[in-house]
Chains A and B, each alone.
Chain A
Amino acid sequence: MMARSLLLGNEAIVYGAMRAGVEVATTYPGTPASEIGDLFAKCRLYMEYSTNEKVALEVAAAASLSNHRSIVSMKHVGLNVASDPFMSLAYTGIRSGMVIVTADDPSMHSSQNEQDNRLYGAMANLPVLEPAIPQECYDMSYYAFDLSEGLGLPVLLRTTTRVSHSRGAVDHEDMEIGGGETLVKKRFERDPYRFVMLPANARKARLKLLGLVSKAGELANDSELNCTYEVGGGSDFGIVSSGHPSTYIREVLEELGIGGRVLKLGFTHPFPGEVLKRFSAGLRKLLVIEELEPYIETMVKKIAHEERLDVDIVGKALIPHHYEVGPDQILDSISRFVGVVREGPVDPSFTIELPTRTPVLCPGCGHRAVYYAVRRVFPKAKTIFTSDIGCYTLGFEEPFQTADTSLCMGSSVGMACGFSSFADERVIAFIGDSTFFHAGLPALVNAVHNSHPFITIVLDNSTTAMTGHQPHPGMDRDERGNLAPAVSIKDVAKACGVDLVREVDASDLGATIDVLKEARGFDGPSLIVTRYPCILLRDRERRERGERVKRYEVTDLCDNCYLCTDRFACPALIKDGGVRVDGRLCTGCGVCAQICPKNAIVEVVDEL
């Protein structure tokens, strides 16, 4: 029995995996991959949020070696973290089907870089599947397990933001995927010559892997995932494409009234060279339309060279190398390639300069009070602020500007180690609670052992907020809401040998400032945990309980000094000829009332 549902690409991946009988799913949340874990957490299988992507991949690998079909999902930069086991797992191979989902983020909607993880597949010599729409997410996720098991290799399922976060019609097996945790223990059959990557074993494994790649290449050449179609009548013009950009080609050709032959690739590594050779017969012009790196273009040109094909091949010379490639860019590049002149659709006289609306810390976010306190105690001109990956990177914006660097997960503490020893200023590292466990911990140990004197501030909101509120090791609940042992950041820091460790309620401005001053006078690594639960979660809970939220107002005592709007900058404080509190946005945290030098902001007391 089949059913049709409106599914997000990420949800379709889960449906496909459940249809394939996946038994173990692991992840570390990251946009645009997060909803994969969110849905698995409600499914009938074993699911865990692991500490980071490397651990998640290792857990999933062990599941496969002990005969469970497994899947691990992550955002593109997560595969950097997991790249160490990823590269070697290609050597050992796997047993039950194992799928590694990487969700790349062209245009950097929510990322620090854009990188093309198809190249990871090429580097590791592992098969890569590239779905373009939610239906293909379902189909390829399902197929990837058989492919993986047949080859004895993990398979890389590569999406991009526009695939993961597209919602579309998906025809799927009508099945109940929901349910509680299930886990069946099975036998791990030892085979140390295969699974222990000592150099002597690894040398043999390398040869075996190359043999498997060539077998995978035959499968790619026979795969229905690589298909050809024609638009209009006979033409010597061809297009090769994959993933998200491939979805616009038919309609753009129709709009331009141009005939062409299209090769749409879904199984892109190993590259299906035979398919390309058959496709290009009789073509004179060939345009390669792909996002980010010229992976397909390079392969096409290599084959054209080896086969001495007489065809004019163009890719990145016309298709942007940066950002996502959508219908506007494709229309433009095809027009230029075939020499069609078009009128622009937009009359520029109708546009005006508009201010950009950048993301900000939420009204009532505890991090804002911490940043305010830090800027009170530490002059910006004499302090280096290393920041990290999470909501709190938004401290970068005015008025706080508490981010001088941010590279990747955990980099705040690692770079603070360096700055505190090599730069002549005080250093403060900001890191979130989930990020601390992910990659901050090794750097903190480094700070202690190598005596790097700086202050680490862990902005603890008791969740992984930016990606949609997933649990982490510091919390006392797991992904299914069951009680779980919480690892205390404070205790971990103490056990690492950090001498000054403090914990403070972030919304208590006076106490936060006192602790910061204490740390300022301390010579050596110190760590402050500032605690305030994510306001989005707290707000939701309060609404569900029907709890009244404290209301605040600005009284006549206000002398329009604008300290609250200019230095604290809560979006709920509105500056229009004075200051007022926007009741729709205010969450009643009360920090602004602590800031106001005239005590002009007060709680509204309802009359009985």
Chain B
Amino acid sequence: MNYNIVTAGVGGQGVLFLSWVLGEAALGEGFYPCIGEVHGMAQRGGTVIATVRISDRDGLGPLIKKGDAHALIALEPLEAARFADMLSRDGLAVVNTYPVRIKDYPDIQTLLSVVERRCETRSYDAFEVAKKVGGEGSANMVLLGTLAGSKRMPIEEASMKAALRKRGNAEQNIRCFEEGLRI
């Protein structure tokens, strides 16, 4: 069994934390997670992508082949479109529609349609949802909640919550995660 997730966004949006929660939850269930991270130069407002592979087999490498991702969590619409071709046709994309603008930023609907034509997509303004439950900084957890709510992942909600409790800001993160479950 392999389950591949791409998490993407812009430096500072919490892409690495998101991938860590997935990895720690998978480890808690006895799987062998492997996460490929990006550090350093790429984190200064640049594109950040982390790849998470959850397997029952040890020794897997961190990268995911194009078309092999079962899920994409994108914290930003341009970055969602950028990595849409990583997704498999029967995958699921969960996309934050709030943009981090740069020069010549494309139309948001066009970006979303790139993802939508690839596979099933759930997109919404995750900042708004997070703000509603008092945790604007935890928009990434809302999106994670939505992926968890789809029941497609091999890991349980409870394991993700247990992982969140190991780090700071747990209450707010869990509140946002639960809000995302319902979307």
Contacts and interface: CB of A to CB of B under 8 A. Distances in A.
B45 A167 contact: no
B65 A331 contact: yes
Nearest to A350: B117
Interface string B26-37: 010000111111
B38 A357 contact: no
Contacts of B117: 350
Nearest to A246: B61
A166 interface: yes
Interface stretch (B97-105, B142-150, B151-159, B172-180): B97-105
Contacts of A358: 46
A244 B44 contact: no
Contact of A360 (B2, B45, B60): B45
Nearest to B41: A110
Which residue, A244, A328, A354, A356, has most C-beta atoms of chain B within 10 A?
A: A354
B36 to A, nearest CB: 6
B18 interface: no
B40 to A, nearest CB: 3
Contacts of B82: 354
Given A32-B39, A34-B39, A346-B85, A248 B61 contact: yes
| Interface size range on B against A | 35 or more
A462 interface: no
Contacts of B85: 346, 350-351
Given A168-B35, A350-B84, A133 B61 contact: yes
Contacts of A248: 61, 63
Interface string A330-356: 010000000000000110001110111
A354 B115 CA distance: 13
A359 B45 contact: yes
Contacts of B41: 31, 109-110, 359, 466
B38 A328 contact: no
Interface in B82-110: 82, 84-85, 101-106, 110
Interface string A65-77: 0000000000000
| Interface size range on A against B | 35 or more
Contacts of B118: 350
B44 A6 contact: no
B121 interface: no
A247 interface: yes
Nearest to A582: B101
A169 B27 contact: yes
A326 interface: yes
B61 to A, nearest CB: 3
B10 interface: yes
B32 A6 contact: no
A162 B50 CA distance: 11
B32 A168 contact: yes
A362 B46 CA distance: 10
B66 interface: yes
Interface string A243-254: 011011001000
A574 B20 CA distance: 32
B96 to A, nearest CB: 13
B34 A357 contact: no
A247 B117 CA distance: 32
A575 B162 CA distance: 42
Nearest to B76: A357
A359 B114 contact: no
Contacts of A359: 11, 41-46
B61 A357 contact: no
Interface in B1-58: 2, 10-11, 19-20, 23-24, 27, 32-47, 58
B106 A355 contact: yes
Contacts of A362: 44-45
B14 to A, nearest CB: 13
Contacts of A169: 27, 32-33, 58
Interface of A: 4-6, 8, 31-32, 34-35, 109-110, 132-133, 135, 162, 165-169, 244-245, 247-248, 251, 326-328, 331, 345-346, 350-352, 354-362, 391, 394, 466-468, 571, 574, 576
Interface of B: 2, 10-11, 19-20, 23-24, 27, 32-47, 58-68, 78-79, 81-82, 84-85, 101-106, 110, 114, 117-118
14 contacts: A109-B41, A109-B42, A110-B40, A133-B59, A162-B61, A162-B63, A169-B27, A350-B118, A352-B81, A352-B114, A355-B104, A355-B105, A356-B47, A357-B10
Given A328-B66, A394-B44, 15 more contacts: A34-B39, A166-B34, A166-B62, A167-B23, A168-B62, A251-B60, A326-B65, A327-B68, A350-B85, A352-B81, A355-B102, A357-B45, A360-B45, A468-B39, A576-B101
